[in-house]
Amino acid sequence: MNIPNASQNSNQSNCSLIIESLQCIRDDRVLFNDLNFTLKAGQLLQIEGRNGSGKTSLLRILCGLTLPTEGIVYWQNQDIQEIQSSYWATLAYLGHANGVKAELTPLENLAMARALAAASTAVDLANALEQVGLYGFEDVPTRTLSAGQQRRVALARLLVTSAPLWILDEPFTALDKAAIVMIEGWIDDHVKRGGMVILTSHHTVNCQNAIFLQLST
């Protein structure tokens, strides 16, 4: 299995994401308050909580896509809001939406993801699609694929870009059991190579260096 080698990223063994005193208020409701944690290279953080507890809001804050009501997120001891471009170049984000272009083919979607990435892996694009079970679908419009197949296209981007930090919001949505096992293997291998993963899922990921954060409202 060809997985992005985390060691390709310089100084990755010293990477850290530090969250200090985060608060998030949405529609006059406090989703979380005074949230603190540190994630280091070679660790996975699984965020748990019932629907509406703020899991997706937290991930978007950690990506720098939305601002917290209070608190700061640090990457390499720098406020991510002050280093947005360089920070975004270090992470791969998969949200509820797949983020693929419907009119492009799966191959074209991966080529675009690689072109936009700060660093890429040596994994061949066609090989990446084959690994996610899309052999034979390389050149059809992505809009013609099923929901599960479109999710696989989105996940295949993890194979072709060399981001040390993966932030994944319910990555197993619309996947069958075989695909879930495959993605778990990618995640575990990425962490073992010194990468970092933050994810939300109702499915507990089997990873040796996993830590858990429970959100409650």
Does the pLDDT of residue 1 top 70, yes or no? no
**Averaged confidence pLDDT in the chain:** 90
- Number of CB atoms found within 10 A of residue 6's CB: 23
How confident is the model over 132-148, as pLDDT tens digits?
999 999 999 999 999 99
pLDDT band at 217 (very low <50, low <70, confident <90, very high): low
What lies within 8 Å, CB to CB, of 78 at 6+ separation is: none
How confident is the model over 45-81, as pLDDT tens digits?
999 999 899 999 999 999 999 999 999 999 999 999 9
Q: What is the DSSP letter of 97?
A: S
Conformational region of residue 77, where left means phi above 0, alpha means psi within -120 to 50, and beta covers everything else: left
How many Cα atoms sit within 13 Å of 59 on the Cβ side? Answer: 26
What is the pLDDT at residue 216? 80
What lies within 8 Å, CB to CB, of 121 at 6+ separation is: 2, 4, 5, 8, 159, 160, 161, 162
What structural domains and CATH numbers belong to the chain? 14-90+166-217 (3.40.50.300), 99-163 (no CATH)
Q: Of 53, 56, 35, give the one whose Cα is nearest residue 216.
A: 53
- Number of CB atoms found within 10 A of residue 86's CB: 13
